[in-house]
Structure 1
Amino acid sequence: MDSVDRVTVAKASRTAGQFFGRQRELKSLRADIGRAGLDTMAGRKGTRPRVLLIAGRPGSGRSALAGELVGQLAGDYPDGVLRARLTTPGGGRVPVERTARELLGALGVPAPAGAGEDELTELVREALAGRRTLLFLDDAVDAEQVDPLLPDISECLVVATSTGPLTGIPDVRPCTLGGLDTGSAVELLGRFAGAVRITVDPRTAETLAEECGGQPAALVLLGGWLAARPMLSVADVTQQLRNLPDEAEETEAVRPLARAFRFVYGTLPQPAARILRLLALAPAGLADAHTASALAGCSVSAARSTLEDFVALGLLRTRGELFEVPGCLAPLLRALMESQDRAAEVQLARARMLERTVRLLQSCRAITDPEGSAARRKLAGLPRTLRFPNAPAAAEWLRLREPVLLASARLAVEDGELDTLARRLVAALVRALSTHRGAEAAAPELYGLHQLVLGVAERRGLHRERAAALLNLADLDARTGRTRDALTRYRAALDAGRAANDPYATGRATESVGGAYQELGDWQRACDWYGRALSQRQARGELADESRLYGRLGSVHTYAGRYGEALRSWRAAVAGYRRLGDLPGQARALSEVARVQEYAGRPEESLRTCTEAVEWARRAGDERLQAALHLRLADTLERLGDSAAARLHRGSAERLLADSRSAYEIRGVSAED
């Protein structure tokens, strides 16, 4: 799972009655918390938290033991519990950058869009400073995933699980797990299969526990299988399991779980077995009825019923409204799918799943449109299972499934064989996130999605889409202060726009390069690039953009102290807005002319121009703009020593702003800039 859950003390994840044995390990881990570390023995105050490592193979119950320990300790950490899984269902490592973003989200700390690993991990450590928090890092691949996330204070505690030792993190002793002791293994088997079966044949139950190597995952599978067949005994399953031939590729360590899984899988009806295999494609190892329905090509109701049956058999776990493939079973499912399903069938199933996800995302966004709109009419034609009752329900669906949807987009792009669907999925997800969360709030996620689009565009040689992705990424870089990175991307977008012969992308990139140079204070280059953008707009007769660019040139000339050039540019902007009939634009441009005249030491001219601007604002009916201009007039009159006239203009501004909280901000460029 790619998501991170912040768990308060009252909600600590501890499943009462579902944990068996491991009392010796629990006692050892708790004792290890208070053990003197290397710093203490050296006479130094510890600066890093204690790291408790639980090592064991998948299926050994390492996550369950860690969860039980976290549940017991949660009360000692008033700032709550943070949980993150560091391995994908396919066995790949989760990048530290992604884990850090998820932890920051759980802590309620904004993560800058496009920030790198070092910056994000530093933010995590800063957010945890001064807190007493328990950090649960599940299924770490190596120390490089864990070490950057460790807080710089000793008051926190880290519980990590891994297959082996985390070499590189000092002062960590792994608690290595084998199988459960016989008594606990039999008790776990009886929890699922029923106590009576164990009571009437305890010796056979012990034999079955030994066949499973005491591995909790294997015992859960066989216990669930017995629970579904009340007429069979423990001896029946023990005999059938013994008769199951070994597979050559199964090592001694993984054989108990692999045999138990093969046994249970072999008894499934063919349609259910196919659904189970195809769940290896579920993004982030999480699926719902829609995912299973699309993968298998069956109805949503049939898929939901099958998933619930899998939960009863121990093949899946529930996580809220979703069904989770246990990490220990994910590689077994994938191996089965690759051996039993043709590649074309697997690709078709993946395409159906992506298409279903796209339609759900389109429905999620369309529900926010007004009644009677084209999107709502199209939405009404969709099956009921693909429609949302209202916008809040759609927003909640998106919130709960956001990690799965992001994982789905990443997997679709990585696959490389369904790029058209992948592009549609990313586009639909961008629109849904922007609609329900807002572009500003969703910026970190949108940054990652634009990077995915860029990857597909470069792979397929799609210059227009490459230009669009680069422009979107550069805009986000610019907003977060990475102006030089933004400049590099704007230049690359310009090249892509030219290759695509796309005048919009070319013009937008040219203007944005000028904006980046303006932000860097390089006035000469800013003027040069704005001039190029202006020439492009003039050649295409785009008068509104031409007027706006004259305003941007005027602003740069003003910053550079070239007041003559600034006045010429702003007057050209005034003329353009006049031809367009844009009265507010004309008034704003005139106000900037007045500002430059004042900077140039011509206050009387500035007063006349500002008075003219007030008149145009009045004609436009823009009272806030009128008020701002009156205030400017008052400031100018004060500097000229005419306090009485200044008071009159301030009074006019106050009357105009009686129903407003603040004056209108006069800007030299349009709001969209």
Structure 2
Amino acid sequence: MPDQSFGARLRALRQAAGLTMEQLAEASGVSARAISDMERGHSRAPQARTRAALAAALGAGADALAGDVPARTDGRPRTHDLPRAITDFVGRNDEIRRVRAHAATDGTGPAPVVVVHGQGGLGKTALALRAAGELAEAYPDGRFHVDLRGAESGPLPPGEALMRLLRALDVAPRRIAGDDDERAGQLRDALRDRRCLLVLDDAADEAQVRPLLPGDGRSLTLITSRRALAGLEGVLRLPLAPLAPHESAALLARIAGQAADPASAADVGTVAGLCGHLPLALRIAGTRLASRPAWTVGHLVARLADEDRRLAALTAGDTSVEAAFALSHAQVSHAGRALFRRLGHVPGPDFGLPIAALLTGDPGPDRDSGSGHALDRDSGPGRGPGRDAGPGGGTGRNADHDGGTERGDDLLNALDELEELGLLEPAGPDRYRFHDLIRLFARDRLRREESAGARAATEQAMSRRILETAIVAGRWFEPGYGAPPDGWTGLVPLPSQDDAAAWLQLEAENWLGALRVLAAAGDDQLVVDTAEAMHWYSDRTHYWTGWYEVFGLSRAAAARLPDRRQEVTHLNYLAWAAATCVHRTDEGARLAMEAHDVAVTLGDLREQAWALQYAAESWRRAGAPERSLDAVRRAVPLADAAGDHDSYVQLFQRIGVVLIDLGRYDEALESFRTTLRELGRRPVAPEPALGARTGAHTFAALALARAGRWPDALREAERALPLATEFGGNSLLSLAHLVRGRARNALGADGRDDLIRALEHMEISGYHKYEAEARAELSA
């Protein structure tokens, strides 16, 4: 029964103080509406904090309004009580700051609403309760929590949620309307003059929460949901992301003492990474560690390292990461679930619509790739013109890039559904990625729901389609090819060399992953053909460490094929990648000389010349310039006799670079002039000709700078820059800008802009050889 004595005492004290309800409300921070309800006995006695605020405003003693607070004996759930907040909360400072700022209102407009959304396990409820606790003083009329069960099979009906909130606000059951719309109106009326905080936890959708929102006033509503609830207007949305690495480490340290040991910092970082910095996963991992005092953090690393068992290991009692994901997965449509599990085939960290489109529809038997990747090889195994014009036309089908077809619309709808439920994350326009643990969940669903044969067929068909496009993209840079042949269709249009380069860079992890799949499946010729098509493109991106794996796979595949000329070619490619991309110079030299010996056996002069060139580069990088110079000079007559004009002109450029290392600048300049003369005499293909011309002018500028001939160095750098821009090599661009910047400084001009641009291109390309020189010049 309502506490009549409390209301009577409150009224008497207010009147004795000569205060109106509005004046008492202003002095105490308790709303006039709440004070009115208390005095009339329409609400129960308030919490101790509210009683103390009223007593202080009335000038009464602390015990003036104490006592006579009846215990609740009706057995009804206290929906106004917030759940117990966690005591080891970490991070989310920016989100709480934004909640606090959004909550600051004068009460003259709509009451503020915040939607905290994201995938399962991100700690949405923990954040809402943390914010509610920090803002408690601002809401003296009550803080209420309702679990809406939105991720479960039976969400709480809005009418039932309204009933619970009205009863928590002490609206008598007999006065609560039977109609949901009327109940919503009663809730808005009850909250209009109060300062309450509502936590509407785990909302299913907009229709469930819209009736529960206050109208005007100072009450604050915090909604948590796996969905963004985009249909709600005028709300602050806070999308949660995984924790930062240092926050993950701090959370583990607060939960488990072993993780607080500075000596375990490296293992703690590994555990945090294996948990994907997901708060739920970190909490489970930390709890498992804390409950096993004999374990070190290293034990936990070992338990989580196996991808196939990681989700099972992230279970503690009745809490598991897999169960949290399964709640979202259960809400996805049949078509969305099929796409979700098949996206587990995608090898890279993210993907776009064309690759996703390969995984729609029913998995069927693997297609015969046929002429889609077969190549008619010429008499030489390597780098020159004369290849077949490209893969057979019509072997591929266009993905619905623009989503304009019915199939494209279905794909976009399924992807939007997965993103809305937090099972996919946006990674750019029409591009998506998995959280690491959700990727494992998708692959687990794939293993459970599709047969091994269907999985293999889908994965290999997807991989072949990706590599078909990769081959044509790579051939934009290869002499004798260029634009795709008429009638060719692929995953994406490739109308220009720039488009091809952009696709190869964007999808590098996906086409490399596809190469791994088909190497494991034994499709050796396709592996070799893909690497062959990438050879000239690799020169532009030679600081990507992935080339070592690409050419390692192609070398192994070529060794299993009957044509030994393919083997020696790809052995040479691997030698180049070992020395240039991963800086394993000893291995590079060994592989190059192994290729040289095989080429001698085969009588292949061209591959002998390339092998000596790659060995020379390895020795130069290893600090043996004299040995390098001897090898590259031995290669010159071999390339000439083989008629390999592309290699021949590059060799003089390489000789010049070694001569710069030896401090023989005049000889180096003569070698670069020889490169330029031979380009005018020999039928060098356009792409290698541009590369050789760009390199000759760029390194000539460097030689002049080393010789202190600054006016000549400036002129040569200015010749090199437009060529380097056209060629598109960031490493040569960085060097040309470096020389021009230094020359301008030496000649009394300002070279700062050039030096800054040099560093920018070094950062893009990963080419850091001259970085210290650029920074020293900038700081001089």
Q: Do they superpose with TM above 0.5? A: no
Greater RCO (CA < 8 Å, at least 6 residues apart): 1
TM superposition score normalised by structure 1: 0.42
TM superposition score normalised by structure 2: 0.37
More helix by share: 1
